[in-house]
Amino acid sequence: MRVRAPLAALPYTSPMNEQPASSHIGRVIGTDPATPLEFWVAVREGCFLQLDDVLVLERRLPGSDGPVRIYGMVADLRARHEGARFDSDVFLIEAGVLPAQVTEAARVLATRFEPEIYVAPVPGDAVHRARGDARDQALFFDGMKHRIPVGLSRDGEIVHANMEFLDGTRGAHVNISGISGVATKTSYAIFLLHSIFTSGRLGRGAHNTRALIFNVKGEDLLFLDRDNRNLDGEQRDRYAALGLPAQAFRSVELWAPPRRGDASAAPRTGSRAEGVTSFFWTLDEFCRDELLPFLFADADDERQQYTIVVHNVTARLRREARPLDDGGVRIGSDTCRTFEQLIDAIRDRVEDPETQQDWAGRAIGGGTINAFVRRLYAARKDAEHLVRADVPNPAKHRLQFQEQVAVVDIAKLSRRAQRFVVGVVLRRTFRQKEETGSRKPLLFVVLDELNKYAPREGRSPIKEILLDIAERGRSLGVILIGAQQTASEVERRIIANSSLRVVGRLDIAEAGRPEYAFLPPAHRQRATISKPGTMILSQPELPVPLVLEFPFPAWATRPDEAGGPGGGEGEEGGGDPFAGLEGE
């Protein structure tokens, strides 16, 4: 007879001060094959398991001094009548006519072997819940020297991520996918920043670390510096369980585009004006920094012949535009202080036979030039309030990020203007990091709607910048936290270079795409029914994704939630706390 070694020696440390025996949850069954990677566990009477529970068992090998510990996670559950043959037998069993017994079993995916001897568990082996140190070992948390809390498991335990795969030490970048309005992608991205800044894992570098956030929907990110007065006690307890403060961001600057036709360039915001600074670029910056291509940053533009004219005009503006004291430029005899005056000067030169070759390029046909001019004038209404020299003291409207978190609001801009702002800002910040040549301090960039800025097909200036960040940003300390509804529509290399991949609620058709092959079938199915606030996280060190929940934002997401910085206790609330989130 084989004698099984007792599990009393396992290092369980239960938060409820339970004895190790109380963690005994069931035994490996022999009616289904057990493999090193997957096996089934029969649940003891009076006990239950749920998805994502972490388990541990040990097996002794012949001639071995110690046992092999096998850790795993519950991936599926089943309950059935043993002894029933037909579906209708359930009525006879319940009536006591047929003898049968209800049994529950859990399918377990192995996550770790200690020592690393890949053997199958033996039917009858006792299985225990993994608690404390055993749970950390099962999920590889024990080997994470620098870890941050990224959510809570279904049983209220902390889920960690390895900071070394976020700060560029061993990897970088986060990608978040999910249905708009349901998956809470932006909310989780901001929560992740909150954990990074307040968990203490940045050490001395926390003060200098920066985050650049593009607000692409609504105005919910314009209140990051205000405590959420509706944060109830339960949600505060969840922050406490994570070891994080339930508070708003303490160092925030807010930027918004100016109002159209406003001579003072007041910021165009609806719900908040106080503390918001408008931004724009002068005509001198537009010409000197070669910003014209970002007005033609749609992937479809790169397929057209007129992009040759775009690049020729860009080079000519850089060489011939002479700066004026107020931010305007002089091109030949033309003085330009508005964007309309600038494009008029450009049109005159690309259409004039005497200057056409210098400005448009050699052997460029009239149809190509006309196509360029049409699109240039079409961009006037989108960019005339963003490129100008008619406002006193333009330096105070220049995007210069001084606080820890900078929010650039582009929600009310047209799609062309949004691409222009994102492209220009990303290029400048990335170049500044290149000039420093140092990975520290870190810069986190949060950008939603990646499929719009880095689509799978075609080329564009913004897409090239995002690819550069994805492939070289790790070495320069530029970390992209990107989000999109459909990862299948985003450039593959950006997704592939993301160390952490997060999935919220997915469309059923999207969940079947190859981009989600890192999710086991059960997780793909769960992603189609996940509720707001529930995410599935995959990270390099763990062989299986982790399902987690994150607390409701401690910062305001709309005006009626906004309290003062360091506000008092929130009001008690009920129902789904994520139901009112906007801008997802």
Residue 567 has pLDDT above 60, yes or no: no
CA–CA separation, 501 and 487 (whole Å): 10
Distances (CA, A) of 527 to 69, 505, 524: 31, 5, 5
Residue 65 pLDDT: 81
Residue 14 pLDDT: 35
CB-based contacts of 321, cutoff 8 Å, min separation 6: 283, 284, 287, 288, 329, 330, 331
Other C-beta atoms lying within 10 Å of the C-beta of residue 278 = 22
pLDDT category of residue 575 using cuts at 50, 70 and 90:
very low
CB-based contacts of 143, cutoff 8 Å, min separation 6: 541
Mean pLDDT of 364-383: 91
CA 50 to chain centre: 27
Three-state secondary-structure class, residue 209? coil
CA triple 511-503-522, angle to 5 deg: 55
pLDDT tens digits, one per residue of 438-476: 888 999 999 999 999 999 988 888 999 999 999 999 999
Question: What percentage of the chain has pLDDT greater than the value 90?
Answer: 72
Residue 315 pLDDT: 95
pLDDT tens digits, one per residue of 162-182: 999 999 999 999 999 999 877
Tokens describing residue 334? 């033309």
pLDDT category of residue 584 using cuts at 50, 70 and 90:
very low
In contact, 339 and 380? CB cutoff 8 Å:
yes
Backbone φ and ψ of 188, nearest 5°: -70, -35
